[in-house]
Amino acid sequence: MKIPARLPSVPLRSPWRSPLRGPWLTSVLGLVLLCGIPVLFLTGLLSYAAYNPNLSPVNDQTPDKGLLGFYLFSWPTHPYWLYRVNQGVHVTLGIVLVPVLLAKLWSVVPKLFALPPVRSPGHALERLSLLLLVGGGIFEFLTGILNVQLDYIFPGSFYPLHFYGAWVFFGAVTAHVAIRLPRTLRAVRGRDLWAELRTSRTRTRPEPDDRSGLVSSRPAEPTMSRRGALGMVGLGSVALFGVTAGQSIGGPLRETALLAPHGRQPGSGPNGFPVNKTAAYARIRATDVDDSWRLVVRGRGEEVSLSLPQLRQLPQHRSALPIACVEGWSTENQQWEGVRLADLAKLVGYAADPPDVFVESVQRGGAFRAAAMRDNQVRDGRSLLALRVNGAVLSHDHGYPARIIVPNAPGVMNTKWVGRLSFGATVPGGQS
């Protein structure tokens, strides 16, 4: 197509002039997102279930999640690595898809600002669904990334925002796919991907205008080929993968996780693995955890108080478990050693079937100072009140004198600087 040097003046001159925009490019990017977003949704729902949010209001304060929480189940303790993998996939995939999401938004931007804004009731409905789609997508990616980067700037807690947002976003995605999939597949088949990847910038032509609203009505000369555009997005994703995945995979790759806010160099020795909140950050005073420290265990009308030497007198057990945080970073297996939660339940009247437990830290304020665990987690022989790790006493930052470690549980359940365990009907508002 020959582009006239001067276009005749038209009432609305589209400011969107990239010759790359068109249904094919949008559809290719859309299909990549279509593969990734369901995985994000599924791993997100599992991650939420892993909190046992029905043990509210301690674990989660999402109001009226009843309907959306229909699928919740008692989070299992087997396999012990499931949460670690689930969260690694969720966070890494979410970050890797960011360039694809941005490119997709760029490719449809003429439609988002199309005029007139509303042409008919049907068109109004479509625009509203696009608002939920685009708004929901940006919201989910933004809250997720901010949380991973420990930027808790959003109002209220991350969990309800990200959880409700996920349903809105996924609902909009489902509707969008239902409406657009045939057109998308047609558009993708309309051009040969391999031919496109061999087309240089100078031979790049706009897609034929199919009234999709994506193709520019007055395209400029290409400054890059479609191959270049897709390559840029792909390289962006690969680069993000490279600087993120190490925080979940661990080992020598931990050093490569440049974007990880936590523990690229967690130090050496038995306690040399990443710390989330340090003792100083959690404002644990020396006097909170000195020789005056006691563990209070409550149960069936009984209460016992144990000093650290007394805890050491109880049978000690080992379990090799990772810490896996909701933020995607995790540690390799650490060798924990301490007292079984089930044995502590026995001390306060639960000889056979230990119940749920409510765990409180000596930490006075701040998030994560308490958590509730279900009976299946208490019953597992690998669930410990750990006193030692990798053959040494716990460091202050890892929760000295005692912390919880439970297989397959989110890191946040592994309360540090534990002060009190309440077994039984002590979970405030519990509805297990």
Ligand X SMILES: Nc1nc2c(c(=O)[nH]1)N[C@H]1C(S)=C(S)[C@@H](COP(=O)(O)O)O[C@H]1N2
User: Interface residues with Mo ion (CB under 5 A)?
Assistant: 325, 411-412
Q: How far is the CB of 406 from ligand X (least distance, A)?
A: 11
Q: How many CA atoms lie within 13 A of 18 on its CB side?
A: 18
**Among 412, 381, 388, CA closest to 80:** 381
In the complex with ligand X, the residue whose CB is nearer, 49 or 100, is 49
The Cα 369–Cα 358 span in angstroms is 11
Tell me if 248 contacts ligand X by CB under 6 A: no
Q: How far is the CB of 25 from ligand X (least distance, A)?
A: 40
Q: Which range in 187-195, 275-283, 299-307, 377-385 contacts ligand X by CB under 6 A?
A: 275-283
Q: Which range in 11-19, 153-161, 210-218, 406-414 contacts ligand X by CB under 6 A?
A: 406-414
The Cα 38–Cα 42 span in angstroms is 6
Instruction: Tell me which DSSP letter residue 324 carries.
Output: B
Q: How far is the CB of 335 from ligand X (least distance, A)?
A: 14
Q: How far is the CB of 169 from Mo ion (least distance, A)?
A: 23
Q: How far is the CB of 147 from Mo ion (least distance, A)?
A: 10
Tell me if 233 contacts ligand X by CB under 6 A: no
383 contact, one of Mo ion, ligand X, none, CB 5-8 Å limit per kind: none
Strands (DSSP E) contained in 205-310 are: 295-298, 303-306
Token pair recorded at residue 245: 């995945």
Nearest-Å Rg of the Cα atoms of the chain is 27
Angle at which helices 23-49 and 226-244 cross, to 10°:
20
Tell me if 276 contacts ligand X by CB under 6 A: yes
The owner of tokens 């990239």 is 18
The number of beta carbons lying within 10 Å of the beta carbon of residue 323 is: 24
Q: How far is the CB of 392 from ligand X (least distance, A)?
A: 13
The Cα 84–Cα 162 span in angstroms is 19
Tell me if 373 contacts ligand X by CB under 6 A: no
Say if residues 36 and 199 touch (Cβ distance below 8 Å).
Answer: no
Q: What are the phi and psi torsion angles at 240 (to 5°)? A: -65, -40
- The 318-347 site mask, x for binding ligand X (CB under 6 A), equals -----x-x----------------------
Tell me if 414 contacts ligand X by CB under 6 A: yes
The Cα 203–Cα 188 span in angstroms is 19
- Of residues 176, 254, 369, 420, which one binds ligand X by CB under 6 A? 369
Q: How far is the CB of 367 from ligand X (least distance, A)?
A: 6
Tell me if 417 contacts ligand X by CB under 6 A: yes
- Of residues 50, 172, 257, 282, which one binds ligand X by CB under 6 A? 282
Say if residues 327 and 316 touch (Cβ distance below 8 Å).
Answer: no
The owner of tokens 């998308």 is 184
Q: Which range in 62-70, 160-168, 250-258, 268-276 contacts ligand X by CB under 6 A?
A: 268-276
Say if residues 219 and 18 touch (Cβ distance below 8 Å).
Answer: yes
Tell me if 136 contacts ligand X by CB under 6 A: no
In the complex with Mo ion, the residue whose CB is nearer, 47 or 422, is 47
Token pair recorded at residue 88: 């690694």
Q: How far is the CB of 309 from ligand X (least distance, A)?
A: 22
Please give the residue ranges that form the binding site for ligand X (CB under 6 A). Answer: 274-277, 282, 323, 325, 361, 363, 368-369, 398, 411-412, 414-417
